[in-house]
Amino acid sequence: MNRPLQLDQQTLVSAWQERLPVLMNTGDSFQVQGDAADPNSLLIQFNAAGHQAYSLDFRCTYVDSREVAVNLVDVEQDGRHTDERAEAVQLLAQQYTRQIHECAQALQPLTHS
């Protein structure tokens, strides 16, 4: 049975900020913030380590207390919008999407209590 999220957004953001670094590659950085338009969504920006200077923005929406939907919103390289179909971007998007799902799974004791 799908249950709505019973957690306030700021508590969720704090939990993600604490847990996500454990799942990330060395050198990559991120920002997590609540989506003002949707209390069940988080906006997550990943900054890839290395010379490519890629920045990928995702929306992570809790479908219910256990499942998240992840959407790539924007990709920038050196501060400029870039084509998200490029192979390097696709590989990063897959990696970060996997990390988002792993983080959501790790936080299930909090979100599904």
**Cα-Cα-Cα-Cα dihedral sign, residues 46, 96, 9, 40:** positive
Domains of the chain (ranges; CATH) run 9-108 (3.30.530)
Q: Any idea which residue has 């179909």 for tokens?
A: 85
**In contact, 61 and 38? CB cutoff 8 Å:** yes
Strands 54-62 and 38-47: antiparallel
For residue range 9-59, what is the model confidence (pLDDT) as tens digits?
Answer: 999 999 999 999 999 988 999 999 999 999 999 999 999 988 788 999 999
pLDDT band at 2 (very low <50, low <70, confident <90, very high): low
Q: What is the C-alpha radius of gyration for the chain, rounded to an integer number of angstroms?
A: 14
Residue 32, number of CB atoms within 10 A of its CB: 21
Instruction: Name the pTM for this structure.
Output: 0.93
